[in-house]
């Protein structure tokens, strides 16, 4: 299991940097939850916050609205997700220019899931960007954007091998990617073995571990199956029998996440990207254990 004896602090280790992922809300209630979570996490001074983009561009407008509001109302640095799916190059380029006009300077460039859903065959849109590396190059041609891309410690589900997956990452780097954010994982050894293989290929951009705090084990396990991430038996055992015990489940979730991130810190990791699921409390607690403290700065630029 993970070592947990190390307790980081700003005085005893290199600075810890975090970033947070959110998804655009579908309902007024979800909107309230999202902005409550942003308000809670903003004082931790994240490096950036990303906003996801639905399959086939299904959340395009909501993603743009959320990112634009982050620019207008907060001091956070938003990163907008963008995919190649279901759009021509001209349409995607228009989205990129709209982000630039809104003040966004960071894009997370992804190929995206097939418009028909995960598990179906992917085919590039006629007249669209074929692969994520092409999208990276297109974004870089349009403006002065920082571009993040995805990385897969257990390989992308559609890749024939990890070597093929590393070829895809190398192509994205060659096209101008500035950093990679990994798919979530629960076994830290997988991440470090992946770093060794990345470095052996001469890929030298930062590889940021993506962390999914397990708020609901059944939901997380289903998500993992769809994305090709493995779920260790020990993790399933931790949550066994807690389906109807929300209070204990939250305590176990905090312990599991703390074990993982503290072990990563103990092994030299200083940057973390949290998949928040638009929920702040567990992520905030983990950041507190990492030594981060809320800055005395309001999330909003100006009071209403």
CB 99 within 8 A of CB 46: no
Nearest alpha carbon to residue 151 among 109, 123, 89: 109
pLDDT of residue 126: 81
Domains, in order of start, for the chain: 13-290 (3.20.20.220)
| pLDDT score of 13 more than 60 | no
CB 179 within 8 A of CB 107: no
The predicted model gives 181-188 an average pLDDT of 97
Q: Exposed, middle or buried, 302 (CB in 10 Å: 0-12/13-18/19+)?
A: exposed
Query: Average per-residue pLDDT in the chain?
Result: 88
Nearest alpha carbon to residue 140 among 129, 127, 151: 129
Number of C-beta neighbours around residue 293 at 10 A: 11
Q: For this structure, is 101 an active site residue?
A: no
pLDDT of residue 124: 67
Considering the chain, what percentage of its residues have pLDDT values greater than 70? Answer: 88
Pairing of strands 49-51, 271-275: unpaired
d(CA 152, CA 203): 14
pLDDT of residue 158: 87
The radius of gyration computed from the CA coordinates of the chain, to the nearest angstrom, equals 19
The predicted model gives 118-144 an average pLDDT of 84
pLDDT of residue 85: 84
d(CA 288, CA 274): 13
pLDDT in tens, 236-290: 999 999 999 999 999 999 999 999 999 999 999 999 999 999 999 999 999 999 9
pLDDT of residue 303: 42
Q: Of 11, 21, 130, 240, which one is the catalytic site residue? A: 21
| pLDDT score of 50 more than 80 | yes
The predicted model gives 213-221 an average pLDDT of 90
| pLDDT score of 58 more than 70 | no
Nearest alpha carbon to residue 57 among 137, 134, 113: 113
What pTM did the predictor assign? 0.90
Q: Exposed, middle or buried, 190 (CB in 10 Å: 0-12/13-18/19+)?
A: middle
pLDDT of residue 80: 96
Q: Which of 92-96, 157-161, 181-185, 234-238 has the lowest mean pLDDT?
A: 157-161
pLDDT of residue 59: 73
Encoding tokens for residue 195?
């770093």
Encoding tokens for residue 144?
């002065």
pLDDT of residue 227: 85
The predicted model gives 114-137 an average pLDDT of 76
Number of C-beta neighbours around residue 120 at 10 A: 10
Q: How far is CA 220 from the centre of its chain?
A: 15
pLDDT of residue 122: 62
pLDDT of residue 7: 39
Helix-then-strand count for the chain, H and E: 10, 9
pLDDT of residue 1: 38
Helix H or strand E segment including 182: strand 179-182
């Amino acid at each position: 299991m993970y070592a947990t004896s190390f307790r980081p602090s700003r005085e005893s280790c290199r600075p810890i940097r975090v970033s947070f992922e959110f998804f655009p809300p579908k309902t007024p209630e979800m909107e309230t939850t999202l902005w409550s979570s942003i308000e809670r996490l903003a004082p931790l001074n994240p490096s950036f916050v990303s906003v996801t983009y639905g399959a086939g561009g299904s959340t395009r407008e909501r993603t743009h609205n959320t990112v634009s509001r982050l620019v207008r109302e907060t001091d956070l640095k938003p990163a907008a997700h963008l995919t190649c799916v279901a759009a021509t190059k001209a349409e995607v380029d228009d989205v990129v220019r709209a982000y630039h006009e809104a003040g966004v300077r960071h894009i997370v460039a992804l190929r995206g899931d097939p418009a028909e859903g995960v598990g179906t065959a992917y085919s590039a849109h006629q007249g669209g960007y074929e692969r994520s590396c092409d999208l990276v190059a297109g974004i870089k041609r349009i403006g002065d954007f920082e571009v993040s891309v995805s990385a897969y410690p257990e390989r992308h589900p559609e890749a024939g091998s990890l070597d093929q997956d590393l070829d895809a990452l190398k192509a994205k780097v060659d096209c101008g990617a500035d950093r990679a954010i990994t798919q979530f994982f629960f076994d830290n050894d997988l991440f470090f073995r992946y770093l060794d293989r990345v470095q052996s290929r001469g890929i030298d951009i930062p590889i940021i571990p993506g962390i999914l705090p397990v708020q609901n084990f059944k939901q997380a396990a289903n998500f993992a199956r769809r994305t090709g991430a493995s779920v260790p038996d020990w993790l399933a055992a931790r949550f066994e029998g807690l389906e109807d015990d929300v209070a204990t489940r939250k305590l176990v979730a905090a312990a599991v996440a703390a074990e993982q991130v503290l072990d990563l810190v103990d092994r030299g990791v200083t940057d973390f990207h949290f998949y928040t699921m638009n929920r702040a409390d567990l992520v905030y607690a983990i950041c507190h254990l990492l030594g981060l403290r809320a800055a005395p700065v309001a999330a909003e630029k100006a009071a209403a």
